[in-house]
Amino acid sequence: MIDQSSISNIYCGTVIHHAQIAKHIYHIKIQSMNLSKLKYVAGLTTEIYLSNPFSNTKTLLRKFSVWNFEPVFNTIDFAINTYYNGESATWIKSVQLGDKVFFKEPKGELLLDDTATEYLLIGNITSLSYFYELNRAISISKNVYSLIFTNNTNQIFPDIDHSFPLNSYLLDSKSPDDIIKLLELHLPKLEDKAVVYVVGDSKEISLINKFLKNFFNHSILKIHSKSFWDNDEVD
Give per-residue pLDDT as tens, 9-41.
899 999 999 999 998 999 999 999 999 999 999
pLDDT at res. 232 = 42
Q: Provide the 10 A C-beta neighbour count for residue 129.
A: 25
Pairing of strands 68-70, 75-81: antiparallel
Nearest CA among 188, 195, 200 for reference residue 145: 188
Q: Provide the 10 A C-beta neighbour count for residue 25.
A: 22
pLDDT at res. 3 = 55
Q: 189 CB contacts (<8 Å, ≥6 apart)?
A: none
Q: What is the pTM of this model?
A: 0.91
Nearest CA among 133, 136, 140, 138 for reference residue 195: 138
pLDDT at res. 200 = 87
Rounded CA-CA distance 44/107 in Å is 5
pLDDT at res. 229 = 56
Rounded CA-CA distance 51/122 in Å is 33
Q: Which residues of the chain are modeled with pLDDT < 50? A: 230-235
pLDDT at res. 145 = 95
pLDDT at res. 235 = 41
pLDDT at res. 86 = 85
